[in-house]
Structure 1
Amino acid sequence: MTTARIVANAQTPEYYFEERCHVVECWNSADDASSSIARIRVEPGVITRLHRLRGTSERYLILHGRGRMHAGDLAPAEVGPGDVVFIPADAPQRIANLGDGDLVFLAICTPRFVPECYEDLDEDP
């Protein structure tokens, strides 16, 4: 990427992902393969599927709600607005929404997220 730009995401559609969450791809461009940013929304009472990102590290920046994060070898821990979770590449991860409202966070991946890096680790289909 060689030029500055502004990406307006107000009209970017949200889609449901098999991980049990809703996603808005805020920034994910092949011409900036170093990183991607997505807004993730997890509905109340939902636990995302256990998964890992092969070769991709991820950071969750919690914007709204309360969750319980399971990441790698860390003991499960509660997270809330302003918290950042670092998830190393290939580490198993999932998050549970503990609140009555949506859990919303930014998922910042390096290198950028591509569907081929996602690996579902849950035992149930």
Structure 2
Amino acid sequence: MKKITGILIFILLISTLGMGCVESTEDTDASEQEDILLAEEQSELYSQKQERIDLVNAAIELIDEKGELAFPEFREKDSQWYNNNSYITVWKTEGIRVVFPPKVSGEGGSVLDLEDYNGEPLGRMIIDTALSEDGEGWVNYYWPKPGETAPSKKSTFVKRTTIGNETYLVHSGFYVNDYTYNKNLEDIEDINHFGEATIRNLINPNRVDMGLDIDYSIAHFIIKPGDFLEPLIMKNPETYYVLEGEGILYIEDVPFELRKGQLVLVPENAKQHMENTGDVDLEFLAINEPAWKPEHEIILE
């Protein structure tokens, strides 16, 4: 997946330069700061991080007011403290779990040697963050969502507080994948077999359940040696980036040789077809804007 990620960044850089978005530093510094602040305000991921911080701070305020009498309130289901996958957890700094709403029977147990899905020392990471000079911070790790066995990326905000002479740490986290589109190449399903090509959807806002504020799509094509991609016309421009192999792309019957690392833009409404002329799979990314839909494609006989 690292290869795919690097290529996408490369393509985005090319697009940015092509649109003339490079301006002088003097003209853009102020506006860039404003854009960053606006983007943070509009980002669901940013909002979720802020909600975790606010929830932990509110919990600490309640602890400051009520001490340990606040703990039963954190266990109340469908409250501001405990709702679905959102909840407050309280530990002692020596590694004793004091409040854990999803599994109250686990309270009183030691979490000092708790590890995440990948074997990282999660318990010690959380405690060390709370005992740091700042007394707070974020811990990122992998943990299965409730009812699932596969791990998901989770980000937790932890902060230190006290009740009398006892030091506690309060934390609350969220699953990052609920707010970002995150796929591993090996987990992506085949969406079509077009002629002799296998097509895999990397990203398409028309093919996912979550709302994606984009209007482009990226598909991963694989054409076996000696096979071909049948003639077609796309109503929108289409960009190909070759990952592996070699072949020939015909645009209006004009041949263009394909090789690893090559980027080709096919104009809108242009007739095109492709064949693998090498000894290994011809792999490439197909980028469409607007995002691919069946009605954008005309298959030729």
Output the TM-score relative to the length of structure 2.
0.37
Q: Secondary structure at the match of 2:183?
A: coil
1:41 corresponds to: 222
Alpha carbons of structure 1 residues 114 and 2: separation in structure 2 relative to 1, 3 Å: farther
1:113 corresponds to: 292
Alpha carbons of structure 1 residues 89 and 33: separation in structure 2 relative to 1, 3 Å: farther
2:158 corresponds to: none
Q: Secondary structure at the match of 2:189?
A: coil
- Structure 2: how far apart are the matches of 1:59 and 1:21? 17
Q: Which runs of 5+ in 2 are unaligned?
A: 1-41, 46-179, 207-211
Q: CA deviation at 1:16?
A: 3.9
2:275 corresponds to: 96
- Structure 2: how far apart are the matches of 1:16 and 1:112? 16
| Bigger strand fraction | 1
Matched, 1:22 2:22: no
Amino-acid identity (%): 28
- Structure 2: how far apart are the matches of 1:84 and 1:19? 22
Q: Within 5 Å, give how 1:49-88 maps onto structure 2.
A: 49-54=230-235, 56-72=236-252, 75-88=254-267
* Greater RCO, CA 8 A, separation 6+: 1
RMSD: 2.0
| Bigger helix fraction | 2
Letter in structure 1 aligned against 2:187: Q
Runs (4+) of structure 1 exceeding 4 A deviation are 1-4
Output the TM-score relative to the length of structure 1.
0.85
- Structure 2: how far apart are the matches of 1:2 and 1:59? 28
- Structure 2: how far apart are the matches of 1:2 and 1:57? 29
2:182 corresponds to: 7
